[in-house]
Amino acid sequence: MRKIVLHEKEMPRQWYNLAADLPTPPQPPLTPDGKPITPDMLAPVFPMNLIEQEVSTQRWIDIPEEVIEILSRWRPTPLRRATFLERHLKTPARIYYKDESVSPPGSHKPNTAVAQAWYNKQFGIKRLCTETGAGQWGSALAFACKLLGLECKVFMVRISFDQKPLRKIMMRIWGAECVASPSPETNAGRGILKEMPDTPGSLGIAISEAIEAAVSDRSGKTRYSLGSVLNHVLLHQTIIGLEAKKQLKMAGIKKPDVIIACAGGGSNFAGLSFPFVCDKIHGEDIAIIPVEPSACPTMTRGPFAYDHGDVACMTPLLAMYTLGHRFVPAPIHAGGLRYHGMAPLVSQAIVEGLLEPRSYDQVKCYEAAMLWASTEGPICAPETSHAIACVIDEAVRAREEGKEKVILFNYSGHGLMDLVGYDKFLSGQLTDYSLPEEALQESIAKIQHLPKVKKQKSGKW
Ligand SMILES: *Cc1c(COP(=O)(O)O)cnc(C)c1O
């Protein structure tokens, strides 16, 4: 079977929360002076129903009926088998992938955008503010807000705003207001514009602007929304892995041997893998691999430490693998993987030894994307190419070892709005960039003053 399609009625009715099963709980978020964050401190930024999810340790959380109804426009997504790539590689491995590119904005991101918009609306919120880099998250939230009747405001990093107009147009089609960041609309933006009028902007600046815009609305009807990293975002994405489990069963597969996904903030990786991490905790033998760019090697070279989620230090301190909140990654084309931190739940699973992170250079990733396009057909997102590069390595290894492994990966999105990177690759202008050790040390030195994290693990893996 090349595609395994679930009936709509078989769509999962609950999300899976890994916090219930991790042998050692993640360290709590802190204020800069080391005190635990309480839910009421987050109340100006997020609605209370999502804050409750953020701190929940309940294993299963019901998906509201109306969210299911909206998701069913494109879910369940197909589980496809990459037989043409298998044949090309002459591998005995079977390669399956969850096709999250079939959502209207073209990635996994609307899985949480729809849920977040719904919970905000439920709480009486009228308007959401957010930031976006290349525009994938901004377009997903714009889409969700349009369907649920909320206003949406997106602060888009200046350089992408100027150089990547396509997703900005998508946001406008879905009724969102999209402004270039830094903007003259916030104190944070005005301050930076005064200092550096020609700055290309950064995700950190855009986050600061979006949070400020949300908390400064006197009506109290505006909140902020984040597209990755936080526990409730990862929770909403677990529908991917829960569907995949049912689909593998339909294909007669008891368990996958290898699970692979790219990781920027960690949400598509967590979405596919967490239901299987649960199986691994309970004794299954599965290799679970998050893949990152070598230009932004958070999991493979960064320390596990308390750090802010943004440059302006507006977010609480999170216990995570990090390159330091002042880190500015090289302008590689996988924009969604250029984040300095990693989701606390993913980070704690790495500390436990449950995951095996890997990094890849961008040229190798584009080569993988080209092989994918010429065997399977679709043009993948630059982010997704990192997963594919790793899949190819694992399939070749299975051939060398003569093992009939089952490899499962997340096809997080299509690349039809991101063709410039392919253009550069095709014209030979793309080069590898691995983060120099001095730059890493310099960035990490800037978080030395923050409270120290306890690295706790059960020692079972
Ligand atoms: C945003 C994005 C990513 C990276 O974000 P995660 O939160 O790590 O999933 C990966 N792939 C695509 C297609 C994206 O749009």
Distance 373 CA to ligand 1 centre (A): 19
State the amino acid at position 118 in one-letter form: W
pTM strictly above 0.95: yes
Average pLDDT over residues 202-227: 93
Is the pLDDT assigned to residue 331 strictly greater than 80?
A: no
Distance 191 CA to ligand 1 centre (A): 30
Alpha helices per DSSP H over 123-266: 136-148, 158-163, 165-173, 187-195, 203-215, 231-237, 239-250
Q: Which of 99, 103, 107 to mutate to test the pocket of ligand 1 (most atoms within 8 A of CB)?
A: 107
Quick one: three-class SS letters along 233-285? Answer: HHHHHCHHHHHHHHHHHHCCCCCCCEEEEECCCCHHHHHHHHHHHHHHHCCCC
| Closest CA to ligand 1's atom 3 | 336
Q: pLDDT band at 25, cuts 50/70/90?
A: very high
Q: Are 294 and 329 in contact (CB under 8 A)?
A: no
Cα-based angle 279, 305, 411 (whole degrees, multiple of 5): 45
d(CA 414, CA 103): 10
DSSP of 75-106: PSPPEEE-HHHHHHHT-S-EEEEEEGGGSTTS
Is the pLDDT assigned to residue 193 strictly greater than 90?
A: yes
Residue 427 has a CB neighbour count (10 Å cut-off) of: 8
Is the pLDDT assigned to residue 276 strictly greater than 90?
A: yes
d(CA 28, CA 37): 8
Is the pLDDT assigned to residue 231 strictly greater than 90?
A: yes
Q: Kindly list the protein residues whose Cβ atom lies closer than 6 A to any atom of ligand 1.
A: 107, 109, 136, 228, 262-269, 336-337, 381, 383-384, 412-413
Checking DSSP bridges between strand 3-4 and strand 258-262, what pairing results, if any?
A: unpaired
Q: pLDDT band at 47, cuts 50/70/90?
A: very high
Q: pLDDT band at 184, cuts 50/70/90?
A: very high
User: Which two three-digit tokens encode residue 113?
Assistant: 């955008």
Is the pLDDT assigned to residue 200 strictly greater than 90?
A: no
Distance 385 CA to ligand 1 centre (A): 11
Distance 112 CA to ligand 1 centre (A): 12
The pLDDT value recorded for residue 324 is: 95
The pLDDT value recorded for residue 273 is: 98
Share of the chain above pLDDT 90, in %: 90
User: Which two three-digit tokens encode residue 268?
Assistant: 């598509």
d(CA 23, CA 68): 31
Is the pLDDT assigned to residue 332 strictly greater than 80?
A: no
The pLDDT value recorded for residue 434 is: 87
The pLDDT value recorded for residue 346 is: 98
User: Which two three-digit tokens encode residue 78?
Assistant: 């197909």
Average pLDDT over residues 57-85: 98
Distance 220 CA to ligand 1 centre (A): 30
Q: What are the tens digits of pLDDT across the range 152-180?
A: 999 999 988 988 889 999 999 999 999 99
| Closest CA to ligand 1's atom 14 | 336
Q: What are the tens digits of pLDDT across the range 250-263?
A: 999 999 999 999 99
3 state SS of 58: coil
Residue 164 has a CB neighbour count (10 Å cut-off) of: 18
Distance 399 CA to ligand 1 centre (A): 29
The pLDDT value recorded for residue 433 is: 87
Q: Which of 97, 268, 384 to mutate to test the pocket of ligand 1 (most atoms within 8 A of CB)?
A: 268
The pLDDT value recorded for residue 461 is: 95
Is the pLDDT assigned to residue 427 strictly greater than 80?
A: yes
d(CA 12, CA 60): 11
Cα-based angle 219, 233, 94 (whole degrees, multiple of 5): 155
The pLDDT value recorded for residue 438 is: 94
Q: What is the DSSP letter of 9?
A: G
The pLDDT value recorded for residue 281 is: 98
Which atom of ligand 1 approaches the CA of 136 most closely?
15
Domains of the chain: 3-9+60-106+231-445 (3.40.50.1100), 110-226 (3.40.50.1100)
Average pLDDT over residues 300-308: 97
| Closest CA to ligand 1's atom 13 | 413
Q: pLDDT band at 83, cuts 50/70/90?
A: very high
The pLDDT value recorded for residue 328 is: 80
Is the pLDDT assigned to residue 380 strictly greater than 90?
A: yes
User: 94: exposed, middle or buried (C-beta count within 10 Å: 0-12, 13-18, 19+)?
Assistant: buried
The pLDDT value recorded for residue 259 is: 98
Q: What are the tens digits of pLDDT across the range 136-148?
A: 999 999 999 999 9
d(CA 4, CA 224): 37
User: 431: exposed, middle or buried (C-beta count within 10 Å: 0-12, 13-18, 19+)?
Assistant: exposed
Q: Which of 225, 383, 386 to mutate to test the pocket of ligand 1 (most atoms within 8 A of CB)?
A: 383
| Closest CA to ligand 1's atom 1 | 336
The pLDDT value recorded for residue 242 is: 98
Q: What are phi and psi of 390, to 5 degrees?
A: -70, -40
198-204: list long-range contacts, CB under 8 Å, 24+ apart: 199/158, 200/157, 200/158, 200/159, 201/157, 201/158, 201/159, 201/161, 202/157, 202/311, 202/328, 203/131, 203/133, 203/157, 203/310, 203/338, 203/339, 204/310, 204/311, 204/312, 204/325
Q: pLDDT band at 338, cuts 50/70/90?
A: confident
Q: What are phi and psi of 115, to 5 degrees?
A: -65, -45
Which atom of ligand 1 approaches the CA of 267 most closely?
7
d(CA 398, CA 421): 30
State the amino acid at position 247 in one-letter form: Q
Round the average pLDDT of the chain to a whole number and report it. Answer: 96
Q: What is the DSSP letter of 310?
A: S
